[in-house]
Structure 1
Amino acid sequence: MTNIKLLKVDLITTSPLVIGVRESERGTLYISPKQIIPGVSFHGALMKALSDLGIKSVNEENALKTFTTPLYPTSNTSKYLFKDINVAHVLSFYGKGLKQKYVISCGLRRILEDFVNRGYDLLTCISNTIRNFMSELEEKAIKYGVNLLFNVADMKSAQGLPIEKVDSLWCITSVKKGIYIENVVDRARGSVYVGTLYGYEYVESGSMFTGYIACYDGLYDEVKDLRDIEVSIGKGRGRGFGKARVRVSELSISELRDLCPIREGLFIVKSLAPTFTVDVLPRPIIVGDVIETLSGLKLKVLGVIGSNTEVYSGWSRLYHTPKISIECNSPGTLFIMDVEDGVVDECACMELLLGLIRGNIPGFNMFQPITWSVHEDPLYMDLDEFIKSVVIRFG
């Protein structure tokens, strides 16, 4: 880690941006369920832009040694990923009754204690924790007369959604979106299908995203002074979509070390990006897998909380080749881990945060460690304090 340098990345869209799409139930509209720019997509776009600028250190070797976090939407580029901006995990919830989607965790301490000290199976630990949390939430909501705002039946998992800290509360980050409508073209005839349309959901120009780049000295020295880098990212670039301006700034790794309060024993980590391991072909991480950082720390997975998976596939603009399809755990999945070999220290924590994992590729396998105490989960909050704070803001 001594020769790893860290850069803060701020991206501002200068044209509508189509991040990642899936077909909606209607069949003619392609929607973006999460407004997060995948790290692997931004990594490829940035390497292509730097190559076009004539940056000499951009080559295949350095590209694979450069790790890019996903870029998360933000209301202010002065905010920092992991501190003020994060991704919600599978056991965090928000109420659909409020216009502003405030997020709270059901707490992870009891799950870990029941799993370790009482020997309960993981499913029992999870169900007990969620049931107790929902029961307490209902009681507190009735106590403060806001049961219509915090209806337990309307609580929904926030897994994988981008969140931003506003004062003491976390809320789901919203971005302005629009829909691009166009005719479907029959390429064989060179004309449109009569009465057939399709549409893409896009993020409007002027939207802001932020994240980090971890790179080695050579690339760092050439990139750190670049203030405005024009990149093309996402779908529809031939129609004028996906233009953005990137600004990089130097950042000391020591500024993130307070996010690494790991101690001995079992602990929980949250996936910040899609996670996978290679078993002939890439597959999601499961119980029994071992994750090894570049410094040699080996962590064994004892439990996985969250069953959502996703498949990433795409085209490399840097090498003009198709990318292998990767099936992975969705962001926000929680993993219970134990140390199999090595020492858990600040260096290892930073490697987990930035995705410095053996066999990893840029944009994947990034984990945020979580400790035992009740304050370990950034989304955890006393329910009395949470409801009072929300009611004051709801006004």
Structure 2
Amino acid sequence: MSSPRAGDDGPVSERVDDLPPRELAELRLQAERYLRDENDQPLLDLVGDLRADEQWWAHLWAPGAAIAARRLGSPQASALLEEAVTLGFSQPEMFEGELEKYFGTDTGWPLLQRRMRVNVPLPTLELTEWPDAGPVGALDLYAIAPERESALLDRLPDSADSAWDTATGLLEWVHDQWPHANDHVEDPDALNVLERVDGGARFACVEYSIVLSQALNAVRIPARRVDLRQANHHVGVGRGHVVSEAWIDDLDRWVLLDGQNGSYWIDEAGRPLGVRELQRLTEPPAFVGARGVESLSAEQAAVWFSYFASVTTTGYTWAEGPFAPIFQGMRSIRTPRLVHDGDLAYPRLSAVTTGLGGTVTAPTVLFSHAHPYGTAIRINGKPVEEYPLDLTPGSHELTVTIATPYGETAPQHLRYLSRSSDR
């Protein structure tokens, strides 16, 4: 009989004070050799000492000794197995068919099998729901150089209390900075654009996106630049449009913001939409202006809606089928990551990842996040790094959020059951 692999599922590393005393460790090694070598009588001679090993007696040594006794024809065999089952033994599979081989024809074996199945207790601590961020791709924001951020902030309107009100205020402000024209800057820097506008320059959609995206990040709203393309973008002219997108904490979603038009898209319920939602629609939704900006007509919206055939955001380009990497026959489409699934480019920034820590008697949970402007994890409203679980028997729930400059993100929940350890 091969020796059961006792202890193989233990922790990867243990503290020295968690290890058994040297004498017990040596006793276990000796008993394991006897089990492996089917050295039955020496194993039975150790039963008195092994019974003192409370952790392993019922689950390993008693059933192992029962097999050894049965092979020797000893009347101890049935009593040892009965003792193991009475004390909670529930893993006959550890012995790789040996228990069935030596006890399976006993009249009491079916009852012992049922008792072993019943011996498996419910866990004393069981997580039933927990936050899981899932696959998280790299997030590249479109921000101004750190040393330029303060000067940009000096030019921006004051932020509002909410992320959405702040974003729409910036959308209106950027739209009003200059009338659209087809000039461009070589340096994608919001301050450079604004300074040239002060001197009379006028720019196109690219520059509206530069200023809006960098302004949003300066006020701690995660934002990216987005290149939109019509179908057949590899030929012709006017096939592209450039906008911004922002993660809005209070809406718990990515939202597309068009600086040139001072507008954003909404569904029938008035909910602002993001790129992926717009790509899945077959008919254009409403394209509405920010505060103080006139909304576009349905006919105008239909024209702008045609630009969602192909998309590149800061860090990603995606195409479910074939993709032409040349734009209008004159420029290569550059991207760090070309993917098939565009959803990978849109991490939910309110998502939280759950980790586990602590000890058997004092378990803890740890949460982490990928929100670029998150300042802390809050559990039940309080900033916490590692949270000890309440082991009072019953149902428990934790509400987990990320603190940001605009309050807290949408709540995530961890729910668990704590049960008495009494059998």
TM-score for the superposition, normalised by structure 2: 0.18
**Higher normalized helix content (fraction of residues):** 2
**Higher normalized strand content (fraction of residues):** 1
Higher relative CO (CA 8 A, sep ≥ 6), structure 1 or 2?
1
